[in-house]
Amino acid sequence: MKAFLTLLTLAVISAAVFALGSFRQGTGGKPVLHVADEVALTVNVAKPEKGEIIRLVQAPGDVEPVLEVDIRSEIVAKIEEMPIEEGDTVRKGDLLCRLDDKNLLAEIESAQARIAQLQSAIVQAKADLEKTERDLTRQVSLSEADATSDLELRDYKTVHDKARSMHEMRGHELAQAEAGLKRIKEDLRRTVIRAPIDGVISKLVAKQGEVVVTGTMNNPGTTIMTISDLSKMQVRTRVDEVDIPLVRPDQKARIYLQTDQNAPAPAKVVRVASKGTKATGRDVVTFETLLEVLSDDARVKPGMTANVEIEVARRDDAITVPVEAVVHRMRKDLPDDVVAAFDRKQVNLDLSTRAKQAQYIKVVYVMEKDVAKVRIVESGIADTRRVELSEGVGLDDTVIIGPYRSLDQIKDGKKVALADTEKKDVKGTKSAQADDQRQTAKDSKLAEKKDESTGDKDDKKGEQKDEQKSASDEGEKTAAARSSP
């Protein structure tokens, strides 16, 4: 019974406090019972700006020449002569190196002797063929006169056929020997390696006296040197799969070298890979993208690493706010009229009730007097600092951008107050003007006081001179009286 009376007493007291708090008196409408006011959230604000905004896709890359050739030997031989050094500039057709050709010259002599031998063999085979033809003709005539047997006639035909085959075989051997001679002469030509393009010897691997070998299916062979055309450079980048749908050929780009991050080189997208790749040991999918450097910047050298910024979207006259101003709120945390306005925009979307309840709505909070008001926004492109808003706010609005703790707690209709720094910014112009006026007045007063002080000093000096003159006159009078009889 005592507990019931205690609860009843507490309920009556609570009801009385509520009634007193609701009842107001006087013309000012002040409550009879004063209850503490709502504590305002301290916020930072910013004004929307109108101007240019660019969306960038960033990726790492490596600098390389557009045209680069690896020089390899096509024969197995020793390097006899190499008149160039790494870093030398060469023109197309210049001598790069000369290989040992002694074995090839010997093979050419052997092939030429073989050809001469086969040519003599062909002459002999031709003579044998002509003899067998004469013998066969005579045997045919004798056979028609029944002067020889059929067996002997067939034997002469066989000998004739063998002589003809031998003549043809010698001809094929001669053609084979001549083809071998051409191959050896081509190898001899390959002992002299000349520059295929204009460029710079960017890498020199082999040295004079080394033996170079040709490449096979599993072995690329000996690389003697690399020639790079430095007049046109490109950057091979690896763009993340999230950003690659935005990247297209001919888009503008900027290349930031590690040597100088403040002066980028202009570039453009040339090619985007159609298939992604994964680096060894990583699950990140990237797409190889080539960018052409559009300037003859001497700083851009092969092998450098660079960071690339590709312009994938641009707005020249967009209303933007800081990215931290845009927040996401669940439907249940927003007023009914805001949710209804959002649903009207999504009338064409076929979403279930459960999906709608789980939706997050993109909003910003604006400061109207000392109250926060929520606004639905449509965002566009964004960079690292600002985001474009196509609707929801205007240039006259004041957008709440932080701090994060306040944004996390803020709700529509919540009382807010500016931080001290924000107050200074808002009142900065007026304060500066007032300070200037006060300083001007202060300077005027100081000048007046200075003038008065100068006048007083002059008066005092005049009085002192008069006093000194009077004293001098009196002294002269006293001396004259003393000297008189």
Place 485 in a pLDDT band, splitting at 50, 70 and 90. Answer: very low
Q: Please tell me which of 3-12, 56-65, 324-333 the model is most confident about, judged by mean pLDDT.
A: 56-65
Nearest Cα to 230, choosing from 302, 295, 123? 302
Nearest Cα to 73, choosing from 180, 194, 179, 203? 194
pLDDT of the residue at 306: 93
What is the pLDDT averaged over residues 169-192? 93
pLDDT of the residue at 193: 94
pLDDT of the residue at 449: 53
pLDDT of the residue at 221: 78
Place 358 in a pLDDT band, splitting at 50, 70 and 90. Answer: low
The letter for the amino acid at 347 is V
Is-contact 63 259, C-beta < 8 A?
Answer: no
What is the pLDDT averaged over residues 415-434? 60
Query: What sections of 312-362 are H helices per DSSP?
Result: 336-345, 353-357
Q: pLDDT at residue 436 above 70? A: no
C-alpha to C-alpha distance for 340 and 335, rounded to whole angstroms: 9
pLDDT of the residue at 308: 94
Place 479 in a pLDDT band, splitting at 50, 70 and 90. Answer: very low
Q: pLDDT at residue 327 above 80? A: yes
> Which helix (H) or strand (E) segment is 468 a member of?
helix 428-483
pLDDT of the residue at 215: 75
pLDDT of the residue at 354: 54
Is-contact 28 197, C-beta < 8 A?
Answer: no
Place 7 in a pLDDT band, splitting at 50, 70 and 90. Answer: low
Place 438 in a pLDDT band, splitting at 50, 70 and 90. Answer: low
What would the pLDDT profile of 14-23 be if each residue is shown by its tens digit? 666 555 555 5
Please give the structure tokens belonging to residue 142. Answer: 């004798």
Nearest Cα to 425, choosing from 46, 9, 41, 23? 46
pLDDT of the residue at 28: 44
pLDDT of the residue at 9: 74
Q: pLDDT at residue 243 above 60? A: yes
Please give the structure tokens belonging to residue 134. Answer: 């004469």
Of 123-127, 196-200, 225-229, 341-345, the one with minimum mean pLDDT is: 341-345
Q: Give the count of beta carbons closer than 10 Å to the beta carbon of residue 240.
A: 14
Please give the structure tokens belonging to residue 221. Answer: 């062979």
C-alpha to C-alpha distance for 251 and 270, rounded to whole angstroms: 8
- Mean pLDDT across the chain: 81
Place 234 in a pLDDT band, splitting at 50, 70 and 90. Answer: very high
C-alpha to C-alpha distance for 230 and 301, rounded to whole angstroms: 8
Please give the structure tokens belonging to residue 379. Answer: 């965002």
Show me where the domains of the chain are located.
101-190, 319-428
C-alpha to C-alpha distance for 407 and 414, rounded to whole angstroms: 11
Of 289-298, 356-365, 370-379, the one with minimum mean pLDDT is: 356-365
> Which helix (H) or strand (E) segment is 360 a member of?
strand 360-368
Sequence-separated (6 or more) residues with CB below 8 Å from residue 380: 315, 318, 387, 388, 389, 390
Q: pLDDT at residue 93 above 80? A: yes
HSE value, Cβ hemisphere, 13 Å, CA-based, for 353: 0
Q: Which residue has the higher pLDDT, 398 or 441?
A: 398
Write the Ramachandran bin of 302: left for phi over 0, alpha for psi from -120 to 50, otherwise beta: beta
pLDDT of the residue at 429: 39
**Rounded to whole angstroms, what are the CA distances from 343 to 338, 356, 391, 393?**
9, 9, 16, 19
pLDDT of the residue at 391: 86
3-state SS of 32-75 is CCCCCCCCCEEEEEECCEEEEEEEEEEEEEEEEEEEEEEEECCC
Is-contact 59 238, C-beta < 8 A?
Answer: yes
pLDDT of the residue at 352: 65
Q: Which residue has the higher pLDDT, 24 or 335?
A: 335
pLDDT of the residue at 29: 47
Single pTM value for the model: 0.62
> Which helix (H) or strand (E) segment is 265 a member of?
strand 260-272
- Look-up: residue for tokens 């566009």? 380
Q: What is the DSSP letter of 210?
A: P
C-alpha to C-alpha distance for 111 and 184, rounded to whole angstroms: 9
C-alpha to C-alpha distance for 392 and 377, rounded to whole angstroms: 4
pLDDT of the residue at 147: 79
Nearest Cα to 202, choosing from 66, 86, 340? 86
Q: pLDDT at residue 287 above 90? A: yes
pLDDT of the residue at 244: 93
pLDDT of the residue at 433: 46
pLDDT of the residue at 469: 45
Q: What are phi and psi for residue 287, nearest 5 degrees?
A: -120, 125
pLDDT of the residue at 430: 43
Q: Which of helix, strand or coil describes residue 273?
A: coil
Q: pLDDT at residue 289 above 60? A: yes
Sequence-separated (6 or more) residues with CB below 8 Å from residue 292: 66, 232, 233, 234, 267, 268, 270
pLDDT of the residue at 407: 87
